[in-house]
């Protein structure tokens, strides 16, 4: 078995990090992403963008992984033990998969606990607040190491190569609204993979999945993992 798992904000929702879309309180209903999550927004008002990501970084540092993250880490270890494998690709910029014990996580939208130099591109760990005074060794301005609207997601070659090798595709806690991640299920189907969706409610791509399980990730993911490991 070679699983390809894509996670989104729904997997971290019960850790208190909030989601971007969907029913209920959502980040992009309260804030305008065009003012906070684009390269143009950072050029126009870097202090405002830093303030937004500083608050999210503080929340993340105070948060903890939940049962869904822990189950996925257990799945990685359990599959490896019996010679199977999985690729975990996340749209999330938090480190809750890693804190739960996942060894290999591909962060296609970057990582909140890293900063990148806007001039030389160097990436470094960052747990502190960033401001317009935050500088790289080369004197370039530091920005959050996250992918903004209009920027290309990271590791795309590696991700498509993993999709080619996979025999099953599973999307967990993602609304299917943001490309290219929202297009992975179509790629997977075209390659004949069985596709499963785990989400609180049907995503925008729900019709493309062969199997759909709805409910809270902290409940559905652990039971699904047990089923896979029992096979
Ligand atoms: P969204 O906020 O768009 O979707 C989260 C999904 O999780 C929704 O379909 C919710 O119904 C579902 N959900 C909420 N609570 C859940 C729970 N407890 N258990 C299971 N599912 C739950 O998040 P993403 O699809 O990850 O990009 O968003 C994709 C990208 O859009 C993000 O990475 C971010 C955002 O703009 C960037 O910032 C570049």
Percent of the chain with pLDDT over 90: 95
What pLDDT is stored for residue 102 in this prediction?
98
Model pLDDT for residues 49-98, shown as the tens digit of each residue: 999 999 999 999 999 999 999 999 999 999 999 999 999 999 999 999 99
- What domains, with CATH codes, occur in the chain? 1-17+65-109+153-231 (3.40.50.1220), 21-62+113-146 (3.30.1600.10)
Q: Is 207 exposed, middle or buried (0-12, 13-18, 19+ CB in 10 A)?
A: exposed
Give the number of other Cβ atoms within 10 Å of residue 117's Cβ. 20
Residues with CB under 6 A from ligand 1: 8-10, 13-14, 19-22, 37, 91, 109, 147, 173-175, 177-178, 199-201, 203, 216-217
Judged against a pLDDT cut of 80, whether residue 24 lies above it is answered with no
pLDDT at 25 over 90: no
pLDDT, tens digit, for every residue of 134-149? Answer: 999 999 999 999 999 9
Residue nearest to atom 16 of ligand 1 (CA): 10
180: cis peptide before it, omega within 30°? yes
If phi > 0 it is left, if psi is from -120 to 50 it is alpha, else beta; for residue 162 that is alpha
What pLDDT shows up at residue 85? 96
Select from 123, 64, 128, 144 the least CA-distant residue to 98. 64
């Amino acid at each position: 078995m070679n699983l390809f798992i894509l996670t989104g904000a729904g997997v971290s929702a019960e850790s208190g990090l909030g989601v971007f879309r969907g029913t209920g309180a959502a980040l992009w209903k309260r804030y305008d992403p065009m003012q906070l999550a684009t390269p143009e927004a950072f050029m126009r008002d870097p202090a405002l963008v830093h303030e937004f990501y500083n608050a999210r970084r503080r929340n993340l540092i105070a948060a903890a992984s939940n049962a869904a993250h822990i189950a996925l880490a257990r799945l990685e270890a359990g599959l490896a033990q019996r010679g199977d494998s999985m690729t975990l690709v996340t749209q999330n910029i938090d480190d809750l998969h890693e804190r739960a014990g996942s060894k290999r996580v591909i962060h296609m939208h970057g990582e909140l606990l890293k900063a990148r130099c806007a001039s030389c591109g160097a990436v470094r760990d960052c747990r502190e607040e960033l401001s317009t005074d935050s500088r790289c060794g080369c004197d370039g301005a530091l920005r959050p190491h996250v992918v903004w609207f209009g920027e290309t997601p990271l590791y795309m070659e590696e991700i498509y190569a993993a999709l080619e090798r996979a025999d099953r595709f599973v999307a967990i806690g993602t609304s299917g609204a943001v490309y290219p991640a929202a297009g992975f299920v179509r790629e997977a189907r075209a390659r004949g993979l069985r596709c499963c969706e785990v989400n609180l409610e049907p995503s925008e791509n729900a019709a493309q999945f062969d199997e759909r399980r709805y409910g809270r990730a902290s409940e559905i993911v652990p039971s699904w993992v047990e089923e896979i490991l029992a096979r």
